[in-house]
Amino acid sequence: MFRFFESLVDPYTPYEDVDRPPQRLWPFLKDYLRPFRKMLGWTAFVAGVVAAIEVWQIWYLGRFVDVLTTTPRGEVWALYGVEFVAVALFLLLIRPVIYSIHAMLLNNTMVPNLGALVRWRSHRHVLRQSVGWFENDFAGRIANRIAQTPTATVEAVFQVFDAVSYAAAYTIGAAVLLWGADPILLWPLGFWLLLYIGLLRWTVRRVEPAAKASSDARSEFTGRVVDSYTNINSVKMFAHHDTEVDYARGAIDKTLHTVRNEQRIFSKMDIGLTVINGVLLVAVVGWATLIYLNGNATVGIVAAASALTLRLSAMTGWIMFAVTNLFRNLGIVAEGMETISQPVTLTDAPDARELAVTEGRLDVRGLSHHYGKRTGGLDRVTLSIPPGQKVGLVGRSGAGKSTLVKLLLRFYDAEAGRIEIDGQDISRVTQDSLRRAIGMVQQDSALLHRSVRDNILYGNPGASEEQMIEAARRAEAHDFILGLEDGTGRSGYDAQVGERGVKLSGGQRQRIALARVILKDAPLLVLDEATSALDSEVEAAIQETLYGMMEGKTVIAIAHRLSTIARMDRIVVMDEGRIIEDGPHDTLLARGGLYATLWSRQSGGFLGADFEDDPEAAE
């Protein structure tokens, strides 16, 4: 039975990706709830039936009292026995079925599937964002919004169909019951309803922005602590424990302030609710009693009116909390939309085709990119690399080397100019096909928090076990991998490497990254200090592997250790975003330009201190 209700909606049902999701709350919710439209209707209907049964039970309680007080004891069973049995069977058999359907529609159809759908779609949308988009925010804050928005969406929908629709049906049923007893009894109910709606409106108008503020504060706190945890080595190395505690406390104080404001609203709501519920109880029960004393009502009517108001009074607290919680969750959803609904700005062209690499020729034509600033990045760079040529790329920090690579991978769209591969403008081909054609080993090769096997197969998920192991052997990684064991006893290729590969040494991470790229076997190869984390002995062994990898490929190798690129076909020297020298190693030395200066200042094969490169985050 549970499986039937759980399968009524498929959270992974196909849908069309959009680059600009709805920016307003209700269109956003409507878009996500589209696969649930039929189930929402059925859930609302069943909630109304449940509320009607609740009101009917109170009405029947009044009738039962009247029967007992107006019928001689000896005649009760004879006159009403069949009715009592029918009611008992309804309460024992039919009522549980209806209530169970209502519970399973909410708990088994709506809650798990809606949560999964929102998580699935929001994560897919965020993953489509560009690298630059991720660089402009805390990973922790993004993750927190992805985590809390589905829960808040589910809670909001749950409150609507568990409380709001039930309350609406119950109130209508109560009005009908009181009207049937005496229309005058509607006056105190109507007066109370006006007070209740007024209090509800006051609360809702304040709780949504308060909830959004507190949710934003929590996301900021999560972003700060995740930033500290991710960079725990730096925190410990510089002994900045207290600095990080104070950094987090600023966000905690902001969270505390916003939560206090939010809870003040709930306290005022509870106080106001207690007052108006007292008015409801005294007015309805008092009026019903007065009518009874005047001989215009039975004891059953007084009993039903009393039970109804007591039930309504008890229920209003729940309804008020449910409605305010609804809008509180809507505030959290609105905060999450600041991440989930951001448009994807770096997109494939409408007519984008798969990149077809036939030779591997690379042409850079008038390329400029300054990250929206006036300086930095690239300035009118033109470069042609014939198929299969190996090019070394050198220059001071900030010269534009990393920017050129980022534009080649289309992590950003160039502000001017274009890059072509075999005559195809990379802005006119699909991003996935472009990046599949490029293998890259970075200076800081972060690994996924998964097994060694998963990390190597990331280069080619369809590769066989033998191909994967062969790639590891070529990267001089197989032997040390066999000796790995994690904290849970998994060993070898099954060992987990930790977040960003922290359980491995820098050289081990680099060799696994090399194995991944070897397995990918892309026609274009980018090496960004591929051997920087290796010791001399391992580097010497891998150098031949690297040159073997380069065979038949078009290669760009960024190097701080100039001796590692001296064997390249040509060397391109960049400075201040432009190419200032281009030629073979010997030719550039003979010219006596910047490359010759850099070479002469090396010590042990490295650039001198005056020219040491830093990660080019500012490029």
Q: Are 510 and 464 in contact (CB under 8 A)?
A: no
Judge contact between 422 and 507, C-beta under 8 A. Answer: no
Tokens 């680099």, located at residue: 510
What DSSP line would sit under 346-410, residue for residue? Answer: S---TT-B----SS--EEEEEEEE-TTSSSSSEEEEEEEE-TT-EEEEEESTTSSHHHHHHHHTT
Question: Taking the CA of residue 194 as centre, how many other CA atoms within 13 Å lie in the half-sphere pointing to its CB?
Answer: 5
Residue 86 confidence (pLDDT) above 90: yes
Residue 19, classed as helix, strand or coil, is coil
Which amino acid would we find at residue 259? V
Give the Cα separation of 315 and 159 in Å (integer): 14
Give the pair of three-digit tokens for residue 157. Answer: 């929908």
Q: What is the pLDDT of residues 131-189, one digit of tens each?
A: 888 878 777 778 878 888 888 888 888 777 766 666 676 677 777 777 766 677 777 77
**Given this model, what pLDDT does residue 618 score?**
35
Look at residues 569, 502, 567, 514 and name the one whose alpha carbon lies nearest to residue 538. 514
Which CA distances in Å does 486 have to 343, 451, 452, 472, 482?
40, 10, 11, 19, 12
Of residues 269, 260, 264, 275, the one with CA closest to residue 320: 269
pLDDT at 609 over 70: no
Kindly report the backbone phi and psi dihedral angles of residue 557, in degrees, each rounded to the nearest multiple of 5, phi listed first: -120, 115
Res 468: pLDDT: 93
CA 482 – CA 145 distance, rounded (Å): 39
Please state, as a whole number, how many other Cβ atoms lie within 10 Å of the Cβ of residue 9: 19
Fold of 362-611: Rossmann fold (3.40.50)
Length of the chain: 619
Domain ranges (residues) in the chain: 8-340, 362-611
* 89 CB-side CA count, 13 A: 6
In CATH, 8-340 is 1.20.1560.10: yes
For the chain, counts of helices (H) and of strands (E)? 22, 10
Q: For residue 500, is pLDDT > 70? A: no
The closest alpha carbon to 210, from 299, 328, 107, belongs to 328
Task: List, for residues 475-493, the tens digit of each pLDDT value.
Answer: 888 999 999 888 788 889 9
Q: What does the alpha-carbon distance between residue 215 and residue 26 come to, in Å, rounded to a whole number? A: 19
pLDDT in tens, 91-123: 999 999 998 998 899 889 988 899 889 888 888
Cβ neighbours of 494 (radius 10 Å): 16
Say which DSSP state 454 is in. H
Name the H helices within 231-298: 232-237, 241-293
Instruction: Identify which of 284, 229, 224, 296 has the alpha carbon closest to the alpha carbon of residue 254.
Output: 224
Q: Which two tokens stand for residue 373?
A: 């600033």
The rounded distance, in Å, linking the Cα atoms of 423 and 412 is: 20
Q: Within 10 Å of residue 615's Cβ, how many Cβ atoms?
A: 12
Checking if the pLDDT of 408 tops 90, the result is yes
**What DSSP line would sit under 488-511, residue for residue?**
TS-BGGG-B--TBTTTS-HHHHHH
Which residue's entry shows tokens 């039936």?
49
Q: Give the pLDDT band of residue 332 (cuts 50, 70, 90).
A: confident
Given a contact cutoff of 8 angstroms between Cβ atoms, the answer to whether 255 and 221 are in contact is: yes
Helix (H), strand (E) at residue 441: strand 438-441
Whole-angstrom CA distances from 57 to 66, 84, 87 are 14, 13, 10
Question: Residue 84 has which token pair?
Answer: 């009592």
Q: Give the residue among 543, 578, 541 at the shortest CA–CA distance from 561.
A: 543
pLDDT digits (tens, 9 = 90+) for 590-601: 998 888 888 887
The predicted model gives 254-267 an average pLDDT of 86
* Non-local CB neighbours of 131 within 8 Å, separated by 6+ positions: 406, 411, 412
CA–CA separation, 605 and 443 (whole Å):
17
Residues whose CB falls within 8 Å of the CB of residue 477, separated by 6 or more in sequence, listed in order: 508, 511, 512, 514, 515
What one-character DSSP code corresponds to residue 444? S
Tokens of 262: 């939010």
Of 390 and 55, more confident:
390
**376 φ/ψ sector (left φ>0, alpha ψ -120 to 50, else beta):** left
Does residue 71 sit in helix, strand or coil? coil
Quick check: 545 pLDDT over 50?
yes
Q: Whole-model pTM above 0.75?
A: no
Judge whether residue 614 has pLDDT over 60: no
Cβ contact 591:582 at 8 Å: no
Report d(CA 177, CA 186) in Å as an integer.
Answer: 9
What pLDDT does residue 62 have? Answer: 78
SS3 294: coil
32's CB contacts (< 8 A; 6+ apart) are 114, 117, 118, 121, 153
Whether the pLDDT of residue 611 is over 60: the answer is no
Q: What are phi and psi of 410, to 5 degrees?
A: 55, 45
- One-letter amino acid of 483: G
Q: What is the pLDDT of residues 392-407, one digit of tens each?
A: 999 888 888 889 999 9
Torsion sign (Cα): 121, 127, 133, 138: positive
